[in-house]
Amino acid sequence: MQTKIIRIDSEHIDIEKMQEAAALICEGELVAFPTETVYGLGADALRPEASVKIYEAKGRPSDNPLIVHISKIEDLKRIAKEVPEQAKKLADAFWPGPLTMVVWKNECVPYTTTGGMETVAVRMPNHPVALSLISESGCLIAAPSANTSGKPSPTEASHVALDMDGRIPMILDGGAVGIGIESTIVDLTEEKPMILRPGYITKQMLEEVLGEEVVIDPGILATDTTDPSQAGQKPKAPGMRYKHYAPKADLVLVEGDTNKVVAEINRLVSVARAEGKSVGVIATDETKAMYQADVVFSIGARDDEDAIAQHLYKILRDFDEQEVDAIYSESFATPRIGQAIMNRLLKAAGYQVLYV
Ligand code: AMP
Ligand code: MG
């Protein structure tokens, strides 16, 4: 299959091009498109055979449900058994935006889209190209991240092309995304609203709007720590259970006081190089010049959380291209979205962390 890559200017959307993409969605085909979080791989969410194609193209396990993307609030009523009061409040505050809500599904949502679950995950993305594709097609669009399963999520159309070329008919190229990590997922079918995946919208932001306590899925806390006493809890979102975002090289995080971290990483680098390995380092603007490694990438300024989130996946992909054997990274447990950043980075590192 030939993959057509169509450049769309987000500020001046070319409706004819969007109609061509929308027609593919209506035919049950796949179209990759930008959202504000990462690129999505879209198909008609209400057609079972269309969402099956998504799993095939990504090599995604079929029990890992898809997020349904909508362009207007009425669409939520189309697929939810009932719309909880909390969903209305959260939609008012954060949609369109990087928040996914899990609600009970009704019969029009096929089990292929929900991975066999009785609930459905819904989000209204804040990106003009995504919103235009949804509204032009008149469909609700099921879309996971547009990467091959297990690879870092794509933050540029070129990343999608690397993974999906020849597998899908069209990629809409809307440039680099703004946020760079996937949406926060909040489950509204539990007794208390529960965060299944941390993201740009934090627990505090949700609590402020809801006026009640929001809990974090104990299953993700269990996997986000190296503490063996927490092991054994399974994350509720099926996708959070899989190995994810792994770069080809072995990645180890080093955490602690900056000066000690730099010294330890340089020591580890020289040990690895003495063994004949090619070594990469993930640094910040402040520390980049302090490392003696084969490849050093800065993820951004240490206090610029947005930049760190935006560059994370691109850097992991760039290291794959550089073909290094080992990567050492500083740790980025920043105040606001640090939990979301570290959740991804720890997974990429297979939870290998050294404390100095
Ligand atoms: P992706 O779109 O690739 O970022 O993945 C979507 C994430 O949402 C995965 O981790 C899924 O397991 C999760 N998800 C989707 N639908 C549901 C649902 N109904 N209940 C819980 N998690 C879900
Ligand atoms: Mg994904």
- pLDDT by residue for the chain (356 residues), tens only, comes to 999 999 999 999 999 999 999 999 999 999 999 999 999 999 999 999 999 999 999 998 888 999 999 999 999 999 999 999 999 999 999 999 999 999 999 999 999 999 999 999 999 999 999 999 999 999 999 999 999 998 899 999 999 999 999 999 999 999 999 999 999 999 999 999 999 999 999 999 999 999 999 999 998 876 555 554 555 678 999 888 876 777 889 999 999 999 999 999 999 999 999 999 999 999 999 999 999 999 999 999 999 999 999 999 999 999 999 989 999 999 998 888 999 999 999 989 989 999 99
One DSSP character per residue, 299-313 reads: -S-TT-HHHHHHHHH
Question: Which residue's CA is the nearest one to ligand 1's atom 7?
Answer: 239
The Cα 189–Cα 102 span in angstroms is: 7
Which numbered ligand comes closest to the C-alpha of 144? 1
Distance 23 CA to ligand 1 centre (A): 26
> What residues contact 289, with CB distance under 8 A and at least 6 apart?
none
CA distance 129 to 259: 44
Compute the distance from residue 144 Cα to the ligand 2 centre, in Å: 6
Amino acid at 282: I
Q: Please give the model's pTM, rounded to 2 decimal places.
A: 0.94
Q: Which of these, 220, 195, 192, lies nearest to 98 by C-alpha position?
A: 195
Ligand 1 lined by 240 (C-beta under 6 Å): yes
Please tell me the residue having the least CA distance from ligand 1 atom 23. Answer: 237
Which is the closest atom of ligand 1 to the Cα of 143? 2
Q: What angle do CA 130, 216, 333 make, to 5 degrees?
A: 80
